[in-house]
Structure 1
Amino acid sequence: MQYLELNALHDELGSSGLVILGFPCNQFGLQEPGSNEEIPLGLKYVRPGGGFEPKFQMFEKGDINGKKEQKVYTFLKNSCPPVGNNIGNPLNRLFWDSLKTNDVKWNFEKFLVGPDGRPWRRWHPRTPVAQVKRDIIFLMKPQHGQQSILMLGREQK
């Protein structure tokens, strides 16, 4: 569902400068096992399916938690408070070492980065995009700059 909401958000605010970035990862329940070439096909034909194609940029699959996490996620997680203290039950669900409170908890945890490159806010994975949109619009107001970037720690759902 959030894929569809992200495309709608891009349609609505992309011309105003919003840039949405997606980062596939296989660390949550091994739900993104495909290669970088297979991920777009999975989105198009399986989930969400129906010919879906993301209108936002998708990066190569990589780790967002643990020793091999992408540097952008180290920066984001250290810049915003965690979305909760509970990391959940890691047994057979979380696939990285050295669990930390500020780790991304699950698919579709969201970060909003301001036009100055500073992370501004972080949301729980279950927070609907429609709810996040209010903060995006606030940050995009002229006194806050011209462009905001929504970065997602996400996997195929």
Structure 2
Amino acid sequence: MNALHDELKHLGFTILGFPCNQFGLQEPGSNNEILAILKHVRPGSGFVPNFQLFEKGNVNGEKEQSLFTFLKNACPPVGDSFGNPTNRLFWDPLKVSDIKWNFEKFLVGPNGKPLKRWFPRVSVSEFLKTKYWDTHQL
């Protein structure tokens, strides 16, 4: 994500990170611990994000942040399956429009309008190949 941010920031592009513990309980730390965990554990090797990282919160379920309700209502879901959610997904109720896993991506234009949503496994290199921002004058 750092490389993507560096490559596109001259276009006014920025990445916003929203830690969440609803996917496999992979973000158990408190807000005070998240940066240290990123730097020393996962991904480790001294990683420090060069983009804004917000406080940890819910992206799905009854207590989801209103930003994610807005984004999910603006962009169609990336799929209709959660695979096997048992002991992997920690919210209720599950909805087709929910964010499926960590690193699902939303592209929002400079006017605040959500433009596109990508499946979590879409890599940064695949995202770059789409050149979606070129056609939408970001």
Q: Same fold (TM over 0.5)?
A: yes
* Correspondence for 1:21 among 12, 16, 35: 16
Opposite residue 58 of structure 1, the aligned amino acid is L
How far does the alpha carbon of each residue in 1:57-82 deviate from its partner, in whole angstroms, 9 at most, with x for none? 00000000001001010001111111
State whether residues 115 and 145 of structure 1, in contact with CA within 8 Å, keep that contact through their aligned partners in structure 2: no
For 1:144, the equivalent position in structure 2 comes to 136
Opposite residue 144 of structure 1, the aligned amino acid is H
How big is the shift at 1:89? Answer: 1.7
Paired with 1:101 and 1:113, the residues of 2 have a C-alpha distance of 21
For 1:77, the equivalent position in structure 2 comes to 72
Paired with 1:144 and 1:116, the residues of 2 have a C-alpha distance of 11
Opposite residue 82 of structure 1, the aligned amino acid is P
Question: Can you give the 5+ residue segments of structure 1 that lack an aligned partner in the other structure?
Answer: 1-5, 147-157
Question: Can you give the 5+ residue segments of structure 2 that lack an aligned partner in the other structure?
Answer: none
* Greater length-normalized contact order (CA 8 Å, ≥ 6 residues apart): 1
Structure holding more strand per residue: 1
Relative to the length of structure 2, the TM-score reads: 0.94
What RMSD in Å do the two structures reach over aligned CA positions?
1.3
Residues 118/7 of structure 1: CA separation in 2 closer, same or farther (3 Å cut): same
Q: Aligned residues: percent identity?
A: 64
After the TM superposition, which segments of 4 or more aligned residues of structure 1 sit over 2 Å from their partners? 143-146
How big is the shift at 1:144? Answer: 3.2
Matched residue count: 138
For 2:90, the equivalent position in structure 1 comes to 95
Relative to the length of structure 1, the TM-score reads: 0.83
